[in-house]
Structure 1
Amino acid sequence: MRLTHRCAECLTLLSGEPESGRTYCSNACRQRAYRRRMAGTPSKVSPQAKVLSNLPAQRDSFVGRERELGKLAALVRQHRLVTLSGGVGAGKTRLALAVASRVQRDLADRVLLVELESTADARFLPQTFAAALGVIERPDEPLRETIIATLRHMRALIVLDNCEHLLDACAELVEDLLRRCPDVVVLATSREALRLREEVTLRVDGLDVPDPASSRRTDAVRLFVDRARERVPEFRLTTADAAAVAVLCARLDGSPLAIELAARWIPVLPVTEICARLDERFDLLTMGGRTKPLRQRSLREAIDWSYWLLVPEERRVLRSLSVFVGEFDLEVARAVYTGSGDLGEILENLHAKSLVSMGSAPGRFRLLESIRLYAASRLEAAGELPSAKEALTRSFVDLASPFVQAPLAVPNEVHQKVLAHRDALRIVITWTSGDRRLLLSTALAVCTARMGFLADARKLLSEVLDDGVRRTAAHCAALDRLAWYTGFLLEHDAALRMALDALEIASVLADTPLITTCLTTLACIEQMSGKLELAAARRDVCLQLVRPLNQPAATAHCLVHLAWSVHLLGDDNRAAALAGEGVALCRTVDSPSRLGEALNVLGGILVELRRFDEAEAVFREVLHAGSAYPHNVPSAIEGLALIAAGRGKPARGSRLVAIAGAIREEIGLFGDPYWKRRVAVVVRDAESEAAPLTRAQAIAFALEDGRPDPDEAPPRGLDGLEYHLATLVAAGLTNPQIADRLGVSTRAVSTRLHALRHKLGVSSRQDIVRWVNGADFD
């Protein structure tokens, strides 16, 4: 059916032959036109207008969100129902209005904003909708039918804003609109999806926040600066303030509402002071405009809006989750939930309502900081804070108990769970005392050290051991780990005193697992101090003590340490056998970190036996898991350096030693002095000018020889890098892959390839491959 003319009131295209005089698309438009004629006012729509819109004029600039704008515009053009869902102050409404204003001319003849915040009762939803549309209720027709009749022949884009408190009513009305009005598109904003079959949901989170160590300006920083200049036009973001703004944006989780409220303080407070007051953010972020909706006037009112939409059990769960800083999983969350509901289902509901966010891995959750602080205030007001703290503390104490009961055999899953909850664990430590504080600190320190931060681990234990002497098992375990980290940071005398004290406590307690771990620590410190025979004797005792305990991880640990002592005393064949047994046991207990340590010891012994192929395979295995366990990386790279030197490639060996040294300095790991002296033999001063690499590039270089070997002269007058570039092309790598391998930009690779083709006198990539493979070009 051909559309030949337009409605005289709203300009909707109509079909059929035009009648004489004015024609209308519906009775509603006819009535509006009649009322205007009676009042003597002209029509709001001129014949030249293309789009009738009630979108408000924006009084400030729209900052950032370019990626989201493009994606949302495409979705609105492709689908008839798109819902923007997201948390408090995420900027859903502003994003929806920005997209609606961009797409209106090619998508609709009518753009309609329906604001629902002030509509508290679902029964009045049709009246709110009709008021925005400009229709009135007829005595002979339900108001919803009048709305449908008005929109039936319109190409309309409807922005349905703030649906979360009227979800069922909105879903019912939208479904009716989509079914009966074929040219209507709905763009909804809600903290929870409508859950209709036709719905496409786009999640709106906070703006990108900066790394405080980076100078890059993100959308969050740009928004703060833009709103600050609205208040103080001469405001400039200085270098001194940049870090404070970065921290402020990160602590506010990139929330546009919170950032705008913070920027309003610029006329009276410096940036650093605003940032310092964020712990009291609900008193600080309250200067929203008087004409704005209540939920946008302060951060507290914004979160209040969502909180009171929850059912009582959901509010209870949200309050209890506020004791977690950082991420948590369902199992740990159960420890603080005392209700009878299905916690998994409640968490999913809270996520659907944008109050709980997904974590970094499946099954993990987190609360944005503003939500957490709000829920914490509600938890305290409800009188539930002491019980929640105690429940979480008990849960973590149970989790950490293996660090005292079986310190050499802590399961890997326990290490991983402690690591995953380390942020919450740090907070729990601040409110505990006595043995529980020592136990939790020991668990956190061990996991911190496994990440490669030995100095941080030592500092943590030093602080908790300064507040009194207990002579308990928890005290012994903490003192033993402190001695271990102090020894590896080369303070041998202090470490030796601590280790002897810890061994005395364990002996008085007659605790065999603790005695074993204390003997192991003492032996390590004595070995680093040059007492090789005494260290070997202690390690022999450790192995005898641990075998009857039926703890494979502890037995493997003792085997590997004894193997190294035996190696240092010159019996390499026995050392290799002990280390091999230790590696085999490590493979049975799912402990990648301990396996890496064992492999490094075995590799070092195999190098001494000149079994280079076996040693290389061992060190490569360590490096393939290296990014997760950085403290094992330097020794593995140094092992490959020894192999390179043994195979007649001292320059490559020297480069590897330099790379490993840079990583040791980065993570504060000094290593065994005997190993260091052995590695130092391969160092050559000629390699000191080599460019530094990132840790990932260093591992790639060690594994794959990512740069040309300076010991090999390249053919045909090419320099080493040019020849290496040619070999990478011949291996079939693309320019981006070569750039990643060499640590340069893709454009740099293209430039170098152009120069290489010119130097070789060839014209294509295929010619380079033929040249590398020995083809004759003459």
Structure 2
Amino acid sequence: MGRQGELATARRLLADCRVVTLTGTGGVGKTRLARHITTDLARGFRDGAAFVELAELRNPELLSTMVADKLGLHDQSDRPPIDAIVDHLRDSQFLLVLDNCEHLTAACASFVETLVASCPQLTVLTTSRQSLEMPGEHLLPVPPLSVPGEAEPASPAELDRYEAVRLFVDRATAVRPWFTVTEDNYRDVARLCTELEGLPLALELAAVRLRSLSVRQIADRLTHRLALLTRGNRFAPSRQQTLRALIDWSYELCSPAEKLVWARASVFSGGFDLEAAEHVCSGPGAEQGAIADIVHGLMSKSLLVAENHGDVMRYRMLETLREYGRDRLGADRTRVARLHRDWYAGLTARFGAEWIGPDQVAWTRRVTEDHANIRVALDFCAAEPGEAVVGLRMANQLDVYWTVRGFLAEARIWLDKMLGRAPRNTPEWVFAHRLLSWCALLQGYIEPGTAALEGVREVAELIGDEVSGAYVDVGWGLANLFTEREPLARDQFAAALEVFRRHGVQHGEGYAGFLHGLATAVSGDFETGRDLIRDHVTAGAAIGENFWRSWGLWALGMAELFLGDADAAEEAELAAFRLQQELGNRVAEAFTVHIIGGIAVRKGQFPRSATLFGIAARQWRALGANPWNFGMFTKRIVEYGAISYQELGEQGYKRHYDRGGAMSRDEAVRYVLGESAEPVAARKNPLTRRENEVAGLVAAGLTNREIAARLYIAQRTAETHVDRILTKLDFNTRAQIATWVVEGRRGAAADRS
């Protein structure tokens, strides 16, 4: 609704300045303007733009981690995430937008200063209620929307040129679709917009009042409120008084139960769903069974915003309204914060208990949606006396999530915080050290990884927790595998696996199973190791599990590459890569692509090998990781790279390597999978990549059981894919699928000729 002048000024400033900060009072529309600018200017930056919302972030230590995640950089290195961000953006022409910096000004200033000094083509736009006060920063004050002023407008038509009026009318028609500016009300509309000083949030809150009041009634009541507020605090900035008056009015018009829920909901960060609200916001004055109606009432007053996330509606509160609600919590703050922590502790417990199975993609998405709330809950555990054990338990239950999403450095931050406050002789303390070691080792940080395990086995024995001791054995096994002590690693994995099986700990079996097979294979007993890995993969397929099965397929391909058959290695690695795409596990992707590059060397496909090594190198950089600290994996990959380099020569190798490094993500995925042409019938193709693959196997005459075996998936999963293909294509028989595939291939061939 306007802002053309500010957009033009922003374009001019961002063309000439490296750091621009949009400043202005709360509710003035800084975030909305920043989003407009990002959309408007992103195409002008060769490497794109990223918009990072910081309102939900409470811990300045996680600023770099949050930005790295938004950039798709998994913090899997032994360096701070800021270093990975610098490496990623060093040669990029990129626009980075940091929204709501006012509560993190010192951290944001230091962060931006580091980036700008190291990345010469980077431009940074921030929004804040105050300047970051850093060298080179240019301020762009965001004024309120234009208003009619004190002079009375001559007609309704004249009002349309004012931005505040256009916004108010837009929001008013959302509340009362028949609302228009008329001869009867245009003077009151002008007075109201002027009284509200063009503040977008104030205008939206006022528009809601049209459900029960006329424009004149709203303006009269607001004038009275402002007079009272000015007498109470005549030195407060005028716009602050205006917004406070509107929020106070909105608060007073809420029912007692709505006031309580507004205050209690302020503990959420980011969004929340109805179940979370019922747990956290219920209590004296707002019974659990009434929360749904109360939330609906707050939405109708524009105090909560609803957003559809698949089958679940989630709610969020604008930061200005959240701050107001937080101020109203008073003595109830700790009780509500503990309820909030308890709810998300329950979520992490469910994640840990239900991870093994067919719902891993959904669970990863669910925890990602609530990551901001989990951070708040962990902050509570770290700050509140006696709660560190609960915090350790939560972090431990998310161990696979930290890996899949690449938040290894963040996991280490939380674990370090809690371990200093938690009692030593507990299973949580033991498991936390194992997880701390796992994160460090996957980052290639061998010494801290092993140091985290020193003396922990003895504590596990002292408290008589055999399962915790087995997890420590897995940690030591991984450390020994990465330092080329494979026989010792094999024995440690075997001992841990026996304990996990005896206690029925599927999660532990997932960790130890594929590693035991891999360590056995590379220790000299290839056949036994291969069989162990295959058993692990088959067991995972039977229950529809993706994460550990993909690692098992990776281990199988690695063992076959080093010691067995190149075709079998390729089949396993491509199957692993497909599962990694489904889960979004980009940490595992880089390992897998490097192995596929080695397979190409074994097969004499040297241009493909160099291209794959280029793709893998870019993936490692995106992870901020170093692939050269992983024992035999590193040693053999270096050998294959040297062979490819020798066969192609310096110029030839560099040409193909650079080609891989320059590919877009989608191009790289298709290249890894060998899809050099468009997918089957791409221009009229409603199928996913996996469904296209299944369709191709149906066309080749394979049964569902054979498809399942070929793709390392459960037969039930194969049947589901075939059913979806028939539904999407509106077919009834497998023969129709086969005909469709053949015709699609002919069309693709004709396009290439």
For Structure 1 versus Structure 2, the TM-score category normalised by the shorter chain is: 0.5 to 0.7
Tell me which residue corresponds to 1:247. Answer: 98
Letter in 2 for 1:560: F
Runs of 5+ in structure 2 lacking a partner? 9-25, 52-92, 104-125, 134-141, 151-190, 197-201, 204-238, 382-386, 687-745
CA change 1:335–1:366 in 2 (3 A) is same
SS of 2:454's partner is helix
CA change 1:676–1:244 in 2 (3 A) is closer
Tell me which residue corresponds to 1:371. Answer: 321
SS of 2:329's partner is helix
Residues in 1 aligned to 2:49 and 2:404: alpha-carbon distance in whole angstroms = 35
Choose from 413, 429, 438 the match for 1:484.
438
Task: Give how far 1:341 is off.
Answer: 3.2
Tell me which residue corresponds to 2:309. Answer: 361
Residues in 2 aligned to 1:356 and 1:653: alpha-carbon distance in whole angstroms = 53
Total equivalences in the alignment: 489
* Higher share of residues assigned helix: 2
Tell me which residue corresponds to 1:530. Answer: 484
Contact in 2 for aligned 1:335/1:395 (Cα 8 Å): yes
Contact in 1 for aligned 2:470/2:500 (Cα 8 Å): yes
CA change 1:769–1:471 in 2 (3 A) is closer
Tell me which residue corresponds to 1:105. Answer: none
CA change 1:434–1:211 in 2 (3 A) is farther
Task: Give how far 1:373 is off.
Answer: 1.9
Letter in 2 for 1:634: A
TM-score in terms of structure 2 length: 0.56
Choose from 386, 393, 416 the match for 1:462.
416
Task: Give CA-to-partner distance per residue, 1:474-528, whole Å, 9 cap, x none.
Answer: 2212211111122223332332232133222222121122112111111100121
SS of 1:274's partner is coil
Greater relative CO, 1 or 2 (CA 8 Å, sep 6+): 2
Residues in 1 aligned to 2:367 and 2:509: alpha-carbon distance in whole angstroms = 23
Task: Give CA-to-partner distance per residue, 1:306-345, whole Å, 9 cap, x none.
Answer: 4444333333222222111112223332221222434334
Residues in 2 aligned to 1:60 and 1:602: alpha-carbon distance in whole angstroms = 58
Tell me which residue corresponds to 1:645. Answer: 601
Q: Does 1:208 align with 2:110?
A: no
Tell me which residue corresponds to 1:313. Answer: 257
CA change 1:89–1:605 in 2 (3 A) is same
Contact in 2 for aligned 1:502/1:518 (Cα 8 Å): yes
Q: Does 1:506 align with 2:455?
A: no
Task: Give how far 1:60 is off.
Answer: 8.5
CA change 1:688–1:602 in 2 (3 A) is same
CA change 1:352–1:90 in 2 (3 A) is farther
Q: How does 1:310-349 map to 2 (within 5 A)?
A: 310-338=254-282, 339-349=287-297
Residues in 2 aligned to 1:211 and 1:480: alpha-carbon distance in whole angstroms = 42
Task: Give how far 1:535 is off.
Answer: 1.0
Tell me which residue corresponds to 1:704. Answer: 674
Tell me which residue corresponds to 2:195. Answer: 293
Choose from 333, 336, 343 the match for 1:385.
333
SS of 1:247's partner is strand
Tell me which residue corresponds to 2:130. Answer: 274
Residues in 1 aligned to 2:343 and 2:128: alpha-carbon distance in whole angstroms = 37
Letter in 2 for 1:639: I
Contact in 2 for aligned 1:251/1:369 (Cα 8 Å): no
Choose from 531, 539, 554 the match for 1:600.
554
Residues in 1 aligned to 2:421 and 2:621: alpha-carbon distance in whole angstroms = 31
Q: Does 1:688 align with 2:654?
A: yes
Q: How does 1:378-457 map to 2 (within 5 A)?
A: 378-380=328-330, 383-401=331-349, 412=360, 417-432=366-381, 433-443=387-397, 446-457=400-411
Tell me which residue corresponds to 2:247. Answer: 303
Task: Give how far 1:555 is off.
Answer: 2.2
Task: Give CA-to-partner distance per residue, 1:259-309, whole Å, 9 cap, x none.
Answer: xxxxxxxxxxx98771569xxxxxx99999896234454433343444444
Aligned Cα root-mean-square deviation (Å): 4.7
Residues in 1 aligned to 2:748 and 2:539: alpha-carbon distance in whole angstroms = 49
Q: How does 1:26-41 map to 2 (within 5 A)?
A: none
Contact in 2 for aligned 1:404/1:514 (Cα 8 Å): no
Letter in 2 for 1:677: K
Task: Give how far 1:699 is off.
Answer: 1.9
Contact in 2 for aligned 1:441/1:461 (Cα 8 Å): yes
Residues in 1 aligned to 2:267 and 2:442: alpha-carbon distance in whole angstroms = 35
Task: Give how far 1:703 is off.
Answer: 1.6
Q: How does 1:53-72 map to 2 (within 5 A)?
A: none
Contact in 1 for aligned 2:388/2:418 (Cα 8 Å): no
SS of 2:484's partner is coil
Contact in 2 for aligned 1:560/1:582 (Cα 8 Å): yes
Residues in 2 aligned to 1:736 and 1:512: alpha-carbon distance in whole angstroms = 53
SS of 1:328's partner is strand
Contact in 2 for aligned 1:556/1:581 (Cα 8 Å): no
SS of 2:315's partner is strand
Residues in 2 aligned to 1:90 and 1:736: alpha-carbon distance in whole angstroms = 45
Choose from 484, 494, 497 the match for 2:448.
494
Contact in 2 for aligned 1:619/1:639 (Cα 8 Å): yes
SS of 2:452's partner is helix
Choose from 469, 472, 495 the match for 1:518.
472
Letter in 2 for 1:664: W
Residues in 1 aligned to 2:96 and 2:604: alpha-carbon distance in whole angstroms = 54
SS of 2:289's partner is coil
SS of 2:548's partner is helix
Contact in 1 for aligned 2:433/2:452 (Cα 8 Å): yes
SS of 1:438's partner is helix
CA change 1:385–1:274 in 2 (3 A) is same
Q: How does 1:559-574 map to 2 (within 5 A)?
A: 559-574=513-528
Task: Give how far 1:583 is off.
Answer: 1.5
Contact in 1 for aligned 2:357/2:543 (Cα 8 Å): no
Contact in 1 for aligned 2:389/2:418 (Cα 8 Å): no
Residues in 1 aligned to 2:37 and 2:598: alpha-carbon distance in whole angstroms = 41
Letter in 1 for 2:429: H
Residues in 2 aligned to 1:578 and 1:62: alpha-carbon distance in whole angstroms = 67
SS of 1:325's partner is coil
Residues in 2 aligned to 1:328 and 1:687: alpha-carbon distance in whole angstroms = 51
Task: Give CA-to-partner distance per residue, 1:695-752, whole Å, 9 cap, x none.
Answer: 443222212354xxxxxxxxxxxxxxxxxxxx769x8767999xxxxxxxxxxxxxxx
CA change 1:697–1:327 in 2 (3 A) is farther
TM-score in terms of structure 1 length: 0.54
Task: Give how far 1:621 is off.
Answer: 3.2
Task: Give CA-to-partner distance per residue, 1:132-186, whole Å, 9 cap, x none.
Answer: xxxxxxxxxxxxxxxxxxxxxxxxxxxxxxxxxxxxxxxxxxxxxxxxxxxxxxx
Residues in 1 aligned to 2:616 and 2:373: alpha-carbon distance in whole angstroms = 33
CA change 1:595–1:641 in 2 (3 A) is same
SS of 1:555's partner is helix
Task: Give how far 1:592 is off.
Answer: 2.8
Letter in 2 for 1:393: R
Contact in 2 for aligned 1:244/1:275 (Cα 8 Å): no
SS of 1:626's partner is helix
Contact in 1 for aligned 2:100/2:127 (Cα 8 Å): no
Letter in 2 for 1:654: A
Residues in 1 aligned to 2:508 and 2:2: alpha-carbon distance in whole angstroms = 67
Contact in 2 for aligned 1:409/1:554 (Cα 8 Å): no
Task: Give how far 1:653 is off.
Answer: 1.1
Task: Give how far 1:550 is off.
Answer: 2.0
CA change 1:516–1:771 in 2 (3 A) is closer
- The structure with the larger Rg is 1
Runs of 5+ in structure 1 lacking a partner? 1-57, 66-87, 92-203, 222-241, 253-269, 278-283, 707-726, 738-765, 774-778
